Structure 1
């Protein structure tokens, strides 16, 4: 019995070029390019306008890697075609961000400012001083950079001050009961 996720074909959208050379997979699209080494025991082929992955055997490790490989390849194809983005909101009096070259300079209530430079393949966008958008083709890298920025000043539960994801809900605590 093969992986349920791994059995699903990955559609190749128009404008995306896919190359499979043995175990090396690469995708090139309007947003950029990405590559992945498919694990041993799994083969990939382009059939028409879809990528199909097939396992060599039906052992548990191969089944698990079959589904994982399919998910990674689907994410890569989507990334080079549409790209990924994470939006962060900065909440708090005096908390703000400003572009500094390609990086961002944060004022987060510390005695100093913090500058974050984008790694390779990642770019920042600041629609306003209280909103940061992290963009890129690699889903994992976009999520990691956004998590690292959030970690600079994680939201606190009493007033909700700090950096949070746009779709994140902060569970608020009641303060001390006054007399």
Structure 2
């Protein structure tokens, strides 16, 4: 058995989990998520907890066991609390704002960068340089944050770019000049 996979998942009171034909659906305060699981994975629901198990213990099945237990746990956390990623803009003139369903970034290019915000993701800009991105689907949230960050990844010489909150940039020395 997988060490992660055998841990039980506690279901909060405001979350409803339905386990159908190889589909797990989770409903909560912030939305509904569903995921198709392989036939080798079994999900049992007993009074407030979920237990994920595997039909046959092979090497690949152990990996899938832990993976799907974590995916189901992330679904439950997402619909009950939501996930948050904070991006920081560092650079002179770097700004962000939200216009309707579009995130507009000024990143030193000759034009503003417009990024469409997908359904299920909320974006909030604080003081023009801090972007809070919230979603109940952790996978979609990380993908959108990486898409925003890909426009100006942090560079090692001046530390400018779009950084995750708390990220440390390993700085390099610049040119040493003439001797």
Counterpart of 2:135 in structure 1 is 136
Structure 2: runs of 5 or more not aligned: none
Structure 1: runs of 5 or more not aligned: none
Verify the 8 A CA contact 1:99 1:105 in the aligned structure 2. Answer: yes
1:29 aligns with 2:51: no
1:172 aligns with 2:159: no
Verify the 8 A CA contact 1:124 1:132 in the aligned structure 2. Answer: yes
Counterpart of 1:65 in structure 2 is 64
Verify the 8 A CA contact 1:76 1:137 in the aligned structure 2. Answer: yes
Rounded to whole Å, the distance in 2 between the matches of 1:3 and 1:52 is: 12
How far has the Cα of 1:45 moved from its partner?
1.2
Counterpart of 2:83 in structure 1 is 84
Verify the 8 A CA contact 1:80 1:137 in the aligned structure 2. Answer: yes
1:121 aligns with 2:120: yes
TM-score, L = length of structure 2: 0.96
Verify the 8 A CA contact 1:155 1:164 in the aligned structure 2. Answer: yes
Q: List 4+ stretches of structure 1 deviating above 6 A.
A: none
CA deviations 1:122-157 (Å, max 9, x no partner) are 111111200111110011111111111111011111
How far has the Cα of 1:121 moved from its partner?
1.2
Aligned length: 178
Root-mean-square deviation (CA, aligned residues, Å) is 1.0
Rounded to whole Å, the distance in 1 between the matches of 2:21 and 2:100 is: 41
CA deviations 1:26-54 (Å, max 9, x no partner) are 10111111001111111111111100112
Rounded to whole Å, the distance in 2 between the matches of 1:162 and 1:23 is: 43
CA deviations 1:50-84 (Å, max 9, x no partner) are 00112111122222111111000000000000001
